Amino acid sequence: MNENPALRSLMAKLDRLIDQTVKVRQACVPLMSVQADGCVIRTKPELTDHRARLFAADPHCHYCELELGFSQTTLDHVRPKSRGGDDSDENLVLACENCNQLKGSLLEDEFRSAIDAGQIELPQLAVVS
């Protein structure tokens, strides 16, 4: 059976894409992407890449220090985007979903102060350092 050369090329690119995958505790984070215009493979940094790097360095919630599985992690903006924050490495930390939701648009020091003042209560399993 004769295969279309374009299809064969696309399949080869997809095979390379699959080979360029980092496994992080049962989660796959693609390092490359396929563009729709001509199926060009290129490096494309994603927030998922930040999450994978942070998880590999320390799999704990930045705020409550609860050890997390990769699928339990969320990215939190230390300085929320609504308050001028960005997606830079310096502004992103791993957080459990509970801490991320409780923190909302607070700055880290405001969040910790609210916990200390009893205005925000973390789950009993969570311990703030």
In this structure, are residues 128 and 122 in contact, taking their beta carbons and an 8 Å threshold?
Answer: yes
Specify the number of domains making up the chain.
Answer: 2
Residue 102, H or E segment: helix 97-103
Question: Is it the case that residue 36 has pLDDT exceeding 80?
Answer: no
Q: List, for residues 16-30, the tens digit of each pLDDT value.
A: 555 444 333 334 444
Q: Are residues 52 and 33 in the same domain?
A: no
Q: List, for residues 79-116, the tens digit of each pLDDT value.
A: 999 999 998 889 999 999 999 999 999 999 999 999 99
In this structure, are residues 96 and 64 in contact, taking their beta carbons and an 8 Å threshold?
Answer: yes
Q: Are residues 128 and 69 in the same domain?
A: yes
- What does residue 36 show for φ and ψ, rounded to 5 degrees? -70, -30
- Supply the range of the domain harboring residue 114: 45-129
User: Quick one: how far is CA 52 from the chain centroid?
Assistant: 6
